[in-house]
Amino acid sequence: MLGTFLSSTPLLKEAWRVCSTANAMGCGAFVAEQVGGVGYVAFSGVQEMPVLGWDPNCTILAPLDAAGHGLFPPLTRCYEGEEPFMVHSGVLHRFLHYHSRNDLQSQISFSYVSIAFFRLHSTLPSLSPSRQLLLTRLRSSLARAHSLQIHSLLAETKSIVITGYSIGGSVAFLTALWLLSYLKSIFPPQSVQCIGFGSPFIGSESLSRAILRERWGGSFCNVVLTHDIMPRLSLEQSLVLTPLWQTLIRFWYTSMISSTSMNFANLQLTEEGKAWLLSFAVANMEHLVQAGEGSGGRLFWPFGSYLFCSYEGTICLDNAVSVNKMMHLLLRTGSRNCIVEEHLNYGQYVERLTRQSLKRIFMEGDPPESSYEASLSMALNSIGTYQQVSIALMAKDCLKMARRIGPSPDQNAAKLAIRLSKIAPYRLEIEWYKACCDKSAEQRGYYDPFKQRGVSKRESHINMNRIMLAAFWDDVICMMDRNELPLNFHRSLEWVIEESQLYKLLVEPLDIAEYYRSGMHRKKGHYISNGRERRYEILDQWWTERVVTEKLGNRRTRYASSTQDTCFWARVEDAKEWLDKIRRKSDPNNLAFLRERLNEFEAYAMKLVEGKEVSADVLAKNSSFSSWLEEWTALNRTGLTQLIPSWFTQRSIRFLVPCWFTWGPIRFLVKYLGIGLQRFDFRFHVEPV
Minimum CB distance to other proteins smaller for 422 or for 585:
422
Q: Contact between 219 and other proteins (CB under 8 A)?
A: yes
| 509 Cβ contact list (under 8 Å, min separation 6) | 446, 447, 450, 562, 563, 566, 568, 569
Rounded to the nearest whole angstrom, what is the least distance from the CB of residue 120 to other proteins in the complex?
24
Q: Contact between 4 and other proteins (CB under 8 A)?
A: yes
Q: Contact between 367 and other proteins (CB under 8 A)?
A: yes
Minimum CB distance to other proteins smaller for 564 or for 590:
564
Please identify which residue in 435, 528, 591, 659 interacts with other proteins, judged by CB under 8 A: 435
The contact pattern for other proteins, residues 179-208, with x = CB under 8 A and - = no contact, is ----------xxx-x---------------
Nearest in space to 434 (alpha carbons), one of 423, 422, 420, 450: 450
CA angle 294, 69, 188 (to 5 degrees): 75
Give, as ranges, the residues between 522 and 561 that touch other proteins (CB under 8 A).
550, 552, 554, 556-558, 560-561
Nearest in space to 114 (alpha carbons), one of 29, 32, 209, 183: 32
Rounded CA separation 507/430 (Å): 8
- 569-581 burial, b at 16+ Cβ within 10 Å, e below that, comes to bbbbbbbbebbee
Nearest in space to 503 (alpha carbons), one of 547, 471, 545: 471
Please identify which residue in 170, 206, 305, 566 interacts with other proteins, judged by CB under 8 A: 305
Q: Contact between 215 and other proteins (CB under 8 A)?
A: yes
Catalytic residue, candidates 88, 93, 99, 343: 343
Catalytic residue, candidates 111, 114, 166, 626: 166
Rounded to the nearest whole angstrom, what is the least distance from the CB of residue 196 to other proteins in the complex?
13
Minimum CB distance to other proteins smaller for 323 or for 512:
323
Minimum CB distance to other proteins smaller for 359 or for 522:
359
The three-class DSSP label of residue 651 is: coil
Q: Contact between 275 and other proteins (CB under 8 A)?
A: no
Residue 582 backbone zone (phi > 0: left; psi -120 to 50: alpha; other: beta): alpha
Q: Contact between 487 and other proteins (CB under 8 A)?
A: yes
- 419-435 burial, b at 16+ Cβ within 10 Å, e below that, comes to ebeebbebbeebeebbe
Rounded to the nearest whole angstrom, what is the least distance from the CB of residue 568 to other proteins in the complex?
16
How far CA 527 is from CA of 105, 476, 517, 522, 574, in Å, comes to 41, 23, 12, 10, 9
How far CA 139 is from CA of 97, 154, 174, in Å, comes to 14, 19, 22
Q: Contact between 366 and other proteins (CB under 8 A)?
A: yes
Catalytic residue, candidates 228, 318, 448, 511: 228
Pick the stretch among 67-75, 254-262, 404-412, 533-541 that binds other proteins (CB under 8 A). 404-412
Q: Contact between 310 and other proteins (CB under 8 A)?
A: no
Residue 180 CB neighbours (<10 A): 23
Rounded to the nearest whole angstrom, what is the least distance from the CB of residue 237 to other proteins in the complex?
33
Beta bridge mates, 300: 204
Catalytic annotation on 580?
no
Q: Contact between 221 and other proteins (CB under 8 A)?
A: yes
Rounded to the nearest whole angstrom, what is the least distance from the CB of residue 314 to other proteins in the complex?
11
Helix (H) or strand (E) holding 221: strand 220-225
Phi first, then psi: give them for residue 132, nearest 5 degrees: -60, -40
Pick the stretch among 65-73, 197-205, 213-221, 650-658 that binds other proteins (CB under 8 A). 213-221
Pick the stretch among 49-57, 492-500, 597-605, 657-665 that binds other proteins (CB under 8 A). 492-500
Please identify which residue in 27, 127, 414, 478 interacts with other proteins, judged by CB under 8 A: 414
Phi first, then psi: give them for residue 634, nearest 5 degrees: -60, -40
Please identify which residue in 144, 360, 522, 683 interacts with other proteins, judged by CB under 8 A: 360
Q: 203, 222 in Cβ contact below 8 A?
A: no
Rounded to the nearest whole angstrom, what is the least distance from the CB of residue 441 to other proteins in the complex?
17
Q: 206, 85 in Cβ contact below 8 A?
A: yes
Minimum CB distance to other proteins smaller for 88 or for 215:
215
Minimum CB distance to other proteins smaller for 38 or for 267:
38
Pick the stretch among 7-15, 252-260, 385-393, 595-603 that binds other proteins (CB under 8 A). 7-15
Q: Contact between 387 and other proteins (CB under 8 A)?
A: no
Please identify which residue in 27, 127, 283, 428 interacts with other proteins, judged by CB under 8 A: 428
Minimum CB distance to other proteins smaller for 536 or for 628:
536
Residue type, 120: L
Give, as ranges, the residues between 562 and 601 that touch other proteins (CB under 8 A).
564
Rounded CA separation 385/397 (Å): 13
- 325-340 burial, b at 16+ Cβ within 10 Å, e below that, comes to bbbbbbbbbbebebbb
Give, as ranges, the residues between 666 and 685 that touch other proteins (CB under 8 A).
none
Please identify which residue in 237, 388, 483, 649 interacts with other proteins, judged by CB under 8 A: 483
Q: Contact between 74 and other proteins (CB under 8 A)?
A: no
Please identify which residue in 218, 296, 347, 676 interacts with other proteins, judged by CB under 8 A: 218
Give, as ranges, the residues between 109 and 168 that touch other proteins (CB under 8 A).
159, 161
Catalytic annotation on 343?
yes
Nearest in space to 560 (alpha carbons), one of 612, 499, 625: 612
Minimum CB distance to other proteins smaller for 237 or for 357:
357
Q: Contact between 458 and other proteins (CB under 8 A)?
A: no
Number of shown-chain residues binding other proteins (CB under 8 A): 76
Rounded CA separation 45/172 (Å): 10
Quickly list DSSP for 126-154: TT-S-HHHHHHHHHHHHHH--HHHHHHHH
Q: 167, 199 in Cβ contact below 8 A?
A: yes
Pick the stretch among 122-130, 320-328, 406-414, 528-536 that binds other proteins (CB under 8 A). 406-414
Minimum CB distance to other proteins smaller for 52 or for 507:
507
Q: Contact between 424 and other proteins (CB under 8 A)?
A: yes
| 156 Cβ contact list (under 8 Å, min separation 6) | 34, 37
Nearest in space to 161 (alpha carbons), one of 147, 179, 141, 143: 179
Catalytic annotation on 166?
yes
For the four alpha carbons of 292, 51, 223 and 274, in that order, the dihedral sign comes to negative
Please identify which residue in 10, 73, 525, 688 interacts with other proteins, judged by CB under 8 A: 10
Nearest in space to 235 (alpha carbons), one of 191, 169, 292: 169
Pick the stretch among 106-114, 214-222, 262-270, 658-666 that binds other proteins (CB under 8 A). 214-222
Residue type, 541: Q
Minimum CB distance to other proteins smaller for 370 or for 646:
370
| 493 Cβ contact list (under 8 Å, min separation 6) | 413, 416
Minimum CB distance to other proteins smaller for 243 or for 368:
368
Give, as ranges, the residues between 33 and 62 that touch other proteins (CB under 8 A).
36, 38
Catalytically active residues are 166, 228, 343
